[in-house]
Chains A and B, each alone.
Chain A
Amino acid sequence: MNWSLPENIATYGGKIDALFWVITVVTAIAFVLVEVGIIWFCIKYRRREGQRAFYTHGSKSLEILWTAVPALAMVALGLYSANVWAQIKGRNSAPSESLHIAVSAKQFEWNVTYAGADEVLGTSDDFSTRNQLHFPANRPILVWLESEDVLHSFFIPQLRVKQDAVPGMTIPVWFEATKAGDYQIGCAELCGLGHYRMRARVRIHEPEAYEAWLDEQIAVRTDPGLPTAVAATAGSGGNDVDDGQEARHEHSAGGM
């Protein structure tokens, strides 16, 4: 069983994890106080022959104490959290040198559009991958998140990032990874029967490796060498035809 958070690879992940430990300590104190208190009372004040309960309607000073202490703790926690929140999700929190990537979610795929060599989205050298998100480590990434159909949620646990994708909205999400590696995007908002399988590979490259990957992708996509879909010669697929009344079960491969 796991009692802690997974590996953190986000630059701001430390702030989230620190918040987790602060809340854990504060709530653990309250937890122990209450649970031990109750068990202790249950033993100490259990029913005894001839014992009579202490008649009281309360204690103003005690009640003020246990109103004020939680109130102060919550205010402190609120201020602390608000600060971290603004740094991570604030409207202007994304660093200006961020690399822009567009992610469009649909039932049940993540389609990722890269800006190409000019690093500007919406130009003709953009290209897309399905269910794969590639980006370099040590550079802020700004994802423009959209959905084509229903709500989805973009979740990469190790990057401590989660943001719902909402049809009709384009939502900025930023993060910066501190190391390269292979991770996964999961969908965290119920989106239909394929929700459990709506995942994508996240490949974080070393900066040079990212450039190489980018060049390779651009080269592949500008390569005119793809054959036309000539039925008789299509190597992998072959014909996929159907003549209606007979031989309907006969097929090799193919179809779109």
Chain B
Amino acid sequence: MATIVAEPTGIPVVEEHHEMSFIRKYIFSSDHKVIGIQFLFLSLFFLLVGGLLAMLMRWQLAWPGRPMPFGGLFPETMAPDGIMLPEFYISLVTMHGTFMVFFAIMLLLVGVFANYLIPLQIGAPDMAFPRLNMLSFWIAVPSGLIALASFAVEGGAAGAGWTSYAPLSGMPEYSGVSMGQQMWIVSLVLLGLSSILGSTNYITTVINMRAPGMLWTRMPLTVWALFVTAILGLLAMPVLSGGLIMLLFDQTIGTHFFLPETGGQPLLWQHLFWFFGHPEVYILILPAMGFVSEILSAGSRKPVFGYKAMVGAIVAIAFLGFIVWGHHMFQSGMNPVLGTSFMVSTLVIAVPSAIKTFNWMGTMWRGNLHFHTPMLFAIGFVMLFVIGGLSGIFMASAPFDIYIHDTYFIVAHIHYVLFGGALFAIFGAIYYWFPKMFGRMMNERWGKIHFALTFIFFNLAFFPMHTQGLAGMMRRLYDTTGYTHTADLQGTHLLITISAFALFSTGVIFAINFFGSMFRGERAPPNPWNATSLEWQTPSPPKHGNWEQAPVVYHGPHEYSHPDVTDKDWLAQNERPDVVSPAGH
């Protein structure tokens, strides 16, 4: 793709992209693939930061009040003599959640893969608005840096949890944090802006820029999931931004939206936050479901079982996701009658999740299963997501939620969904699409070791939290030894902490494999997995503009083992029907 740019001299020149400077090509690039890879480095960085914060928390929980190794590196406002202070612990709780939800998982799913995959999978040369796309990345960078920098300001980083419930988040007298809380708000307002720009772009691109023949019913499930996710983001993010700005006003210019002294309503913040927050949870899982559907199909050498039901389930989850927010507020003081209706909508959302799970099993059924690393992570996703989904039923039932609300059971649940679910799918997706991104394969042996260790230590770290929650251990406690009903759970804390340290260490294996393969990995062919979707029908990595010849789509997205194709077990979406006989749909 060439563009004509008017030089200041007035002489029109044809600017070829392969002649661009390093800065235009890799820093301020408007190529969706480069932006996707930029997001990849940014979000992996925040995944590391979020993980480090979690390790500090785990130290304190296992050995409360004991000086941390390297604790001397912390200033006395965080950890005098290496002993963590309660206010620092709460900042860690807050910022671990914030980094993981907003800057690691969300950016990995929609920043990295929506950017990288949507144009490639629908056969477009780039996004509809490449410069908006670039802007979206360059807003996300300062947003993350502001959040990170808030640790350094007086009073420390935000200390009201990642949900920042008012009035704790609205009044510095209550939390001891003023600047840090304001930086948290500004950071998320910026991230919301970045996300809205991205979503606008994805939606426009999917609607307008599909290749000839790329019918809605021929879109890979990844694109479907990312498309619906973008709609969720576009509808939910502005609500968060509005709420955040109200909170910022409460903090700075003396409004009282959420402060009760002069008629404000603390529950209003919870409604606004969760009206965004619950769709956000699905923003964090729908794309993962898309990747897994696609990887399972390719790994099983079978079409996705029940493609239309899968699309329907994505849309149903997205729609229901907007009417279940109250299940976070069963014990909040909200009218209990409202609790009943939110309980019903929440239980209903289990149905599309069940459809997806059984259809994934249907996809594997009578397949020819190739256990490469992406496939292992996809299978791991299904096995762990089921646990996260089923534990959700316990808390969806409002009466039982009375007991487990705000306990470690919830912590276990969210980590089974976001780590066992989303992050396993992300690892699978990175192993799967890495060859396309960097033109080299990741090491298979180390990938499998990474999978096995992650799977084991993940379960050892998070499954015991269910039992802690059932014992009644509350969340966000700096030291759990002070309660009679939790004092004897210290052994469980120790097991969790050691497993968490081991889990964090498996990240080193991934990092070495990731960076090592980027430079030393085996050269990747265009289609290393013998997959059907369009991105595999162009060189690895694709050039600027993606296609040597604009693709035309003739087949459905996951046509593996088609009986009419005998020489191979896959049928690319753009293979001409006169080469092979036309496929079913």
Tell me the minimal C-beta distance from B218 to chain A in angstroms.
Answer: 13
Compute how far the CA of A193 lies from the CA of B87 in the bound complex, rounded to whole angstroms. 5
Contact mask for chain A residues 174-198; partner B; CB cutoff 8 A; 1 contact, 0 none: 0000000001101111111111110
Among residues of A, the one whose C-beta sits closest to the C-beta of B486 is: A186
B390 to A162, Cβ gap below 8 A?
no
Contact residues, B479-510 vs A (CB, 8 A)? 479-480, 482-485, 489, 491-492
B464 to A1, Cβ gap below 8 A?
yes
B23-31, B242-250, B391-399: which lies at the interface: B391-399
Contact mask for chain B residues 431-468; partner A; CB cutoff 8 A; 1 contact, 0 none: 00000000000000000000000000000000010011
A53 to B470, Cβ gap below 8 A?
no
Q: Is B579 an interface residue (CB 8 A)?
A: no
Q: Is A249 an interface residue (CB 8 A)?
A: no
A193 to B86, Cβ gap below 8 A?
yes
Compute how far the CA of A74 lies from the CA of B352 in the bound complex, rounded to whole angstroms. 12
Contact mask for chain A residues 1-23; partner B; CB cutoff 8 A; 1 contact, 0 none: 11111100000000110011001
Q: Is A164 an interface residue (CB 8 A)?
A: yes
B400 to A38, Cβ gap below 8 A?
no
Compute how far the CA of A8 lies from the CA of B260 in the bound complex, rounded to whole angstroms. 35
B231-239, B275-283, B401-409, B528-536: which lies at the interface: B401-409
Number of interface residues of A (CB under 8 A): 87
A37-B361, A47-B368 known; A85 and B336 CB under 8 Å?
yes
Q: Is A128 an interface residue (CB 8 A)?
A: no
Q: Is A151 an interface residue (CB 8 A)?
A: yes
A42 to B379, Cβ gap below 8 A?
yes
How many pairs, one residue from A and one from B, have CB atoms within 8 Å of each other in the complex? Answer: 299
Tell me the minimal C-beta distance from B53 to chain A in angstroms.
Answer: 16
| Residue among A51, A66, A199 with max Cβ neighbours from chain B (10 Å) | A66
Among residues of B, the one whose C-beta sits closest to the C-beta of A5 is: B470
B368 to A85, Cβ gap below 8 A?
no
Compute how far the CA of A149 lies from the CA of B398 in the bound complex, rounded to whole angstroms. 26
Q: Is B387 an interface residue (CB 8 A)?
A: yes
B168 to A192, Cβ gap below 8 A?
yes
B302 to A6, Cβ gap below 8 A?
no
Q: Is B71 an interface residue (CB 8 A)?
A: no
Q: Is A27 an interface residue (CB 8 A)?
A: yes
Residues of chain B within 8 A of A47, CB atoms compared = 368-371
A47-B369, A63-B359, A190-B168 known; A195 and B478 CB under 8 Å?
yes
Compute how far the CA of A149 lies from the CA of B176 in the bound complex, rounded to whole angstroms. 14
B106-114, B417-425, B561-569: which lies at the interface: B561-569
Among residues of A, the one whose C-beta sits closest to the C-beta of B584 is: A57
Compute how far the CA of A35 lies from the CA of B381 in the bound complex, rounded to whole angstroms. 11
Residues of chain B within 8 A of A188, CB atoms compared = 405-407, 474-475
> Chain B interface: which size bin?
35 or more
A150 to B168, Cβ gap below 8 A?
yes
A58 to B371, Cβ gap below 8 A?
no
Residues of chain B within 8 A of A107, CB atoms compared = 174
Q: Is A89 an interface residue (CB 8 A)?
A: yes
Residues of chain A within 8 A of B475, CB atoms compared = 188, 190
Residues of chain A within 8 A of B11, CB atoms compared = none
Residues of chain B within 8 A of A167, CB atoms compared = 167, 260, 266
A2-B489, A193-B90, A195-B478 known; A74 and B348 CB under 8 Å?
yes
B167 to A46, Cβ gap below 8 A?
no
Among residues of B, the one whose C-beta sits closest to the C-beta of A91 is: B336
Contact mask for chain A residues 28-50; partner B; CB cutoff 8 A; 1 contact, 0 none: 00110011011001100111100
B174 to A51, Cβ gap below 8 A?
no
A88 to B366, Cβ gap below 8 A?
no
Q: Is B5 an interface residue (CB 8 A)?
A: no
B354 to A66, Cβ gap below 8 A?
yes
Q: Is B175 an interface residue (CB 8 A)?
A: yes
Find B368's partner among A51, A67, A166 (CB 8 Å cutoff).
Answer: A51
Q: Is B471 an interface residue (CB 8 A)?
A: yes
Tell me the minimal C-beta distance from A104 to chain B in angstroms.
Answer: 14
A-side binding surface: helix, strand, loop or mixed? mixed
Contact residues, B359-394 vs A (CB, 8 A)? 359, 361-362, 364-371, 379, 382-383, 386-387, 390-391, 393-394
Q: Is A129 an interface residue (CB 8 A)?
A: no
Among residues of B, the one whose C-beta sits closest to the C-beta of A80 is: B397
Residues of chain A within 8 A of B175, CB atoms compared = 192-193
Contact mask for chain B residues 277-315; partner A; CB cutoff 8 A; 1 contact, 0 none: 000000000000000000000001111111111000000
A27 to B394, Cβ gap below 8 A?
yes
Q: Is B128 an interface residue (CB 8 A)?
A: no
B398 to A85, Cβ gap below 8 A?
yes
Residues of chain A within 8 A of B354, CB atoms compared = 30, 66-67, 70
Residues of chain A within 8 A of B266, CB atoms compared = 151, 166-168
Among residues of A, the one whose C-beta sits closest to the C-beta of B302 is: A53
| Residue among B174, B176, B303, B397 with max Cβ neighbours from chain A (10 Å) | B397
Contact residues, A130-188 vs B (CB, 8 A)? 149-151, 153, 155, 157-158, 160-169, 171, 183-184, 186-188
A71 to B351, Cβ gap below 8 A?
yes
Residues of chain B within 8 A of A54, CB atoms compared = 302, 365-367, 561
A155-B474, A164-B332, A196-B480 known; A27 and B390 CB under 8 Å?
yes
Q: Is B57 an interface residue (CB 8 A)?
A: no
Contact mask for chain B residues 160-178; partner A; CB cutoff 8 A; 1 contact, 0 none: 1100010110010011100
A5 to B403, Cβ gap below 8 A?
yes
A2-B467, A190-B476, A192-B159 known; A160 and B340 CB under 8 Å?
no
A35 to B386, Cβ gap below 8 A?
yes
A23-B393, A195-B477 known; A162 and B402 CB under 8 Å?
yes
Q: Is B344 an interface residue (CB 8 A)?
A: yes
B339 to A85, Cβ gap below 8 A?
yes
A1 to B364, Cβ gap below 8 A?
no
Q: Is B56 an interface residue (CB 8 A)?
A: no
Q: Is B323 an interface residue (CB 8 A)?
A: no
Compute how far the CA of A196 lies from the CA of B562 in the bound complex, rounded to whole angstroms. 60
Residues of chain B within 8 A of A38, CB atoms compared = 361, 364, 379, 382-383
Contact mask for chain B residues 88-112; partner A; CB cutoff 8 A; 1 contact, 0 none: 0010010000000000000000000
Among residues of B, the one whose C-beta sits closest to the C-beta of A24 is: B394
A70-B354, A184-B484 known; A58 and B306 CB under 8 Å?
yes
Q: Is B552 an interface residue (CB 8 A)?
A: no
Q: Is B267 an interface residue (CB 8 A)?
A: yes
Contact mask for chain B residues 556-581; partner A; CB cutoff 8 A; 1 contact, 0 none: 00001111000001000000000000
Tell me the minimal C-beta distance from A85 to chain B in angstroms.
Answer: 5
Q: Is B182 an interface residue (CB 8 A)?
A: no
Residues of chain A within 8 A of B369, CB atoms compared = 41-42, 45-47
A166 to B343, Cβ gap below 8 A?
no
A34 to B307, Cβ gap below 8 A?
no
Find B474's partner among A160, A186, A193 (CB 8 Å cutoff).
Answer: A186
Q: Is B18 an interface residue (CB 8 A)?
A: no
Contact residues, A66-92 vs B (CB, 8 A)? 66-67, 70-71, 74-75, 77-78, 81-82, 84-86, 88-91
Tell me the minimal C-beta distance from B501 to chain A in angstroms.
Answer: 19
Beyond A19-B400, A45-B369, A88-B399, 18 additional contacts (C-beta under 8 Å) are A3-B467, A26-B393, A45-B364, A53-B366, A57-B304, A58-B305, A58-B307, A67-B309, A74-B351, A78-B343, A78-B344, A85-B339, A150-B171, A184-B485, A189-B406, A196-B477, A196-B479, A197-B482
7 nearest CB pairs, A to B: A168-B260, A157-B472, A58-B306, A54-B366, A70-B354, A27-B390, A196-B478
10 contacts between A and B (CB under 8 A): A52-B569, A54-B561, A56-B305, A57-B306, A74-B350, A82-B343, A85-B336, A192-B175, A193-B87, A194-B86
